[in-house]
Chains A and B, each alone.
Chain A
Amino acid sequence: MKRALLINAVNPAVGGVLIRGEKGTAKSTAVRALVDILPEIEVVADCRFGCHPTDRSMMCDECLARIEAGESIPRGMRKMKVVELPVGATEDRVVGTLDIEQAIKKGEKAFEPGILAQAHRNVLYIDEVNLLDDHVVDVLLDVAAMGVNVVEREGVSYSHPARFVLIGTMNPEEGELRPQLLDRFGLAVDVAGIEDIASRVEVVRRRIRYESDPAGFAEEWAAEQASLKERVVKAKEILPEVNIPESMLELIARIAVEMGVDGHRADITMMKASMTLAALAGKRAVTEEEVRQAADLALLHRTRRRPFEDFKFDSAKVEALIPGKGKQAS
């Protein structure tokens, strides 16, 4: 889980993570803690959507208009955020509202940004994503696919860019996700409680220490956090230089075919994830080890299934397809 989150922190193009698992397995904790290691991004300093200062595809109408008018745009750095989408959120709350009353009284459009606006260039976190209202899911899928949120009411329309890293958690007992939404998540992980007694004890010990003295605890871990953050920033720098050899592409394609996934999104995700993993390891070329790790993360939710099949993912089968070494437990 931590690895999947790290990959997304470095390379949002991987497409988010779905975390499946029982209650009390640190799912939410991990996502919320991600904030601290997310890198800073460059933004238009005074834009309410936090637009990208140079990439025009990530700009809102206002920023575009300013550029077109030849205005020089103030730049600033800010941290990426984790924006939570509550399960009970209404469509209005998610996409934002157009104040129609205002519009018909004055004839002008007033847009109140919603959660999707906040999520632009950030992490959108949905706890219990499988319990989300169906049409909110539809909206999310549309926006995630197009990178633009369009709100329309009574012929008044407003649109703004909305690109985000989608992180969802779910407890499969409560119902499954539709395959479309499932496929929209780049990676997926299953988490379970730890069985090993010593580790369980360690979980409890750390938790108690944290609760009795949060500040002190944070300080204890400050160095480790800093080094992790450093690693993310470095990986981001290295990523554009990472190479993926032909043989690794072949391996990825073979794994995808053998595992019987739908379509090609799995391949593409495996490729991106393995390149990001290489960057995280400080390497300039992808090796079998990265492909193996990426396969686990990209295939879990994509091995072919129909509405009534259980998930069948056999990580041993992936192992068998990978020649060479590097087979220690992940």
Chain B
Amino acid sequence: MMVKERITYPFSAIVGQERMKKALILNAVNPSIGGVLILGEKGTAKSSAVRALASLLPEIEVVTGCPYSCSPYKPEEMCEGCYRRWASGEELPRSRRRVRIVELPLNATEDRLIGTLNLKEAVQNGVRSFEPGLLAEANRGILYVDEVNLLDDYLVDVLLDVAISGINVVEREGIAYRYPARFILVGTMNPEEGDLRPQILDRFGLSVEVGGISDPKERVEVLRRRAEFERDPLGFQALWVEKENELCLKILQAQQLLPAVTVPPVLVELAVEFSLGARVSGHRADVVIVKTAMTIAAYEGRTEVEAEDIKEAAQLVLGHRFREGNPPREKEEDGPAPGAADGEDEKERRKDEGPFSGQGDEGRDEGESGPEGLFPPLSSDGEVSQNGEKQDDRDNGGSPSEIDLPKTEEMVFGIGEIYQVRKLTPPADRILRRGTGRRTKTRTGTKQGRYVRSIIPRGAPTDVALDATIRAAAPYQPKREKAGRAIAIESTDIRQKVRERKIGNTILFLVDASGSMGAQRRMVATKGAILSLLVDAYQRRDKVGLVAFRGDKAEILLSPTRSVELAHRKLAELPTGGRTPMATGLAVALNLLHAQMAKEEGTIPLLVLISDGRANVGFNGMDPVESAKLVAAEIYHSGIKSIVIDTEKEFINFGLSREICAALGGWHFKLEELRGDTIVRAVRKSLS
């Protein structure tokens, strides 16, 4: 990106964060390690370090004027243009320049990422030429994605395809193009904001966790240097130039030494043992450990790998790969066809098949401790455990609960354990919506999302589809006045893009708070489940509402809101006791969702009923279960999708919730099935 003449804070002046710096340097020495994922708190010099790295890297030699920064010496990695020139025996002009760091903004479009038709050339000169995207700019440099876990899925898919093959194949707007795209992928993420899919996680060679420095002396040093830097950036840089040069030289020397580094076979075995111990799937981890260890040796000026190197490498390599029982890899995710947009679409479609995709591909297992306790789990039960901190006591049943309750009938139960829930994804629909979020795929009227096809715009075009417009104009060219341009386009030719993206849902939790739910403290587990769903809702930017029914009425505890905190508080205070007016509950929920849909165009409603199904209060003396089924059918006909979570635990299962679920046309499962890892385990079991 064109950030001009910004003076960067010197890499060597960053206080502490040694592991992060080491991981970055190792990648600089040996880009084939595969990049770094930096996990951690805000404000820990993550971005500063990445930006500073670029100015530290040794200069590279490029073919002058090549938009892909091709190396003049490696025909096998050249773009088409350079290769043709090389093959014809032309002497390629060369120049030296700094390695680029390209930042991928979260709101980048697919076009911008992979490149597109050069508009100016097309219109003015009638030439089909290619306008390279960010991936081209990043070739032989660093591609930096801040908050990589917030990146839209379709961009992640493109990124993965390219990162795997090192080649970007573009086939669109009638032009096919391939160019090299090898880059060091550096991503940062804050695990609180949601996880990364295992597929992209595995794509990062190394990972490090960063946190703030707790030593006050070092913290003061951070401040002192920062103050100095801001007061006089140039002077500060001059102060560190020697250190920077030293480091740069060391990287250069390591690069030269690297090909000579050898690994004793016994140490390769050690690497394999490490990854077996971490139960990682596939062989990528083994390979990366060995590569990293070789790079560490080279960086330290040695030509033979030592056991310590393997150990250090394993720490960097296994952190993000470790999990207790990896889900078996899905074939379709394994090696997607490079680039082809159609293949992408099909993959998407397959993934979203069925009313709900069962495989929690974001389902992270609960982590135990890693091999030799080296690696803390990245996160477990939706909580970040990087500081070894456990969830607040208050959340683990510490609320003014079971002990001191004045009322005879009513109890307030605490909230049970929180965990990662399985993926709940309602099917995509074809309604145009405006909104954001990360759950349901939808047509979108905004300029975000994947371009799926084009239409003739109604009114003024807002999101012009270039390819379709040119196609529409093509037949008329012989008859039109061109005024020096290659093609003449008129307003009637203009086509508009139709896009698709994921948006959040409005999830209404309808909670049975009747007496039967209190039996065997079932409410504790239920509240845990709801809270787990709330964590999930937060990460996917859903709106949540909460309705509880008990005694003779249903109560709206929370109208749909984005404030998950508020929902949490209400949930903690929710008392249990009394009879089960399920029909009333459903009716209130229906009204609330109707109101929400009227208020906000584009709302995707989802009803989550959590109950044991033992309805015992009906409408005006009607049978309670029949009453509930009646409203349920109405909900179904309103087009509201539902999930019923059955909390029934006894051996004799009345199966009433199943009946109501059938009337809702919803998806039914037991409370115990809500965990992401149970699904994974079930799949594993069925395969073994």
Q: Which residues of A are in contact with B by a Cβ distance under 8 Å?
A: 13, 56-57, 59, 64, 90-92, 100-101, 103-108, 130, 133-135, 138-139, 141-142, 145-148, 150, 152-157, 159, 172-176, 178-180, 183, 240, 244, 246, 249-250, 252-254, 256-257, 261-268, 271, 306-310
Contact = CB atoms under 8 A, between A and B. Distances in A.
Contact of B43 (A57, A106, A141, A263): A263
12 contacts: A141-B106, A147-B3, A150-B2, A152-B108, A153-B464, A240-B231, A249-B220, A256-B212, A267-B222, A267-B223, A307-B564, A307-B565
Contact of A254 (B150, B216, B227, B469): B216
A257 B105 contact: no
B145 to A, nearest CB: 11
B103 interface: yes
Contacts of B111: 152, 154-155
B527 interface: no
Contacts of A257: 214, 216, 219
B616 interface: no
B418 to A, nearest CB: 9
Interface string B212-241: 111011011011101100110000000000
Given A152-B108, A155-B131, A256-B219, A103 B119 contact: yes
B331 interface: no
Given A139-B107, A152-B112, A257-B216, A107 B120 contact: yes
Contacts of B437: 134
Contacts of B124: 107
A172 B565 CA distance: 10
Contact of A101 (B220, B383, B464): B464
Nearest to B448: A135
A43 B446 CA distance: 35
Interface string B487-518: 00111001000000000000000000000000
A137 B220 CA distance: 32
Nearest to A104: B489
Contacts of B469: 104
**What band does the interface of chain B fall in when counting residues whose beta carbon is under 8 Å from A?**
35 or more
Nearest to A275: B227
A139 B447 CA distance: 13
Given A267-B219, A307-B192, A154 B43 contact: no
Please give me the 8 A-B residue pairs with the lowest Cβ-Cβ distance, nearest first. Answer: A263-B43, A265-B43, A253-B219, A134-B436, A175-B563, A107-B123, A262-B41, A155-B131
B353 to A, nearest CB: 27
Contacts of A103: 119-120, 123
A230 B111 CA distance: 51
Contact of B466 (A104, A147, A152): A104
B4 interface: yes
Most chain A beta-carbon contacts within 10 A, residue among B44, B120, B230, B461: B120
Interface of B: 1-6, 41-45, 47, 103, 105-109, 111-112, 115-120, 122-124, 131, 146-147, 150, 190, 192-193, 211-214, 216-217, 219-220, 222-224, 226-227, 230-231, 383-384, 391-392, 395, 435-437, 446-448, 461-462, 464, 466, 469-470, 485, 489-491, 494, 531, 534-535, 538, 541, 561-566, 568-569
Given A91-B447, A138-B106, A307-B564, A101 B41 contact: no
A257 B42 CA distance: 15
Contacts of A105: 123, 489-490
Contact of A91 (B222, B446, B464, B494): B446
A84 to B, nearest CB: 22
Contact of B212 (A13, A262, A309): A262
Most chain B beta-carbon contacts within 10 A, residue among A157, A183, A263, A264: A264
A92 B461 CA distance: 13
Nearest to A256: B219
A107 B466 CA distance: 12
A40 B598 CA distance: 47
Given A91-B447, A268-B226, A263 B44 contact: yes
B436 A253 contact: no
A106 B105 contact: no
B151 to A, nearest CB: 10
Nearest to A60: B4
Contact of B123 (A57, A106, A267, A306): A106
B223 A308 contact: no
Given A173-B563, A174-B563, A253-B223, A133 B447 contact: no
A252 B3 CA distance: 32
Contacts of A152: 108-109, 111-112
Contacts of B211: 263
A263 B41 contact: yes
A309 B390 CA distance: 12
Contacts of A178: 193
B146 A150 contact: no
A178 B539 CA distance: 10
A310 B564 CA distance: 11
Contacts of B446: 90-91, 135
Contacts of B47: 145
A57 B3 CA distance: 8
Nearest to A137: B436
A200 to B, nearest CB: 29
A204 to B, nearest CB: 32
B226 A180 contact: no
A134 B146 CA distance: 16
B216 A250 contact: yes
Contacts of B118: 155
A254 B220 CA distance: 9
Given A101-B464, A308-B535, A179 B192 contact: yes
Nearest to A133: B436
Nearest to A103: B119
Nearest to A147: B3
Contacts of B109: 152-153
A70 B643 CA distance: 68
A108 B111 CA distance: 19
A250 B217 CA distance: 7
Given A154-B116, A257-B214, A268-B226, 11 more contacts: A56-B4, A101-B461, A103-B119, A104-B470, A134-B436, A180-B42, A246-B220, A253-B223, A254-B216, A267-B223, A307-B564
Given A154-B466, A262-B41, A309-B392, A176 B119 contact: no
B6 A57 contact: yes
A72 B544 CA distance: 58
A138 B150 contact: yes
Contact of A310 (B112, B190, B220, B565): B565
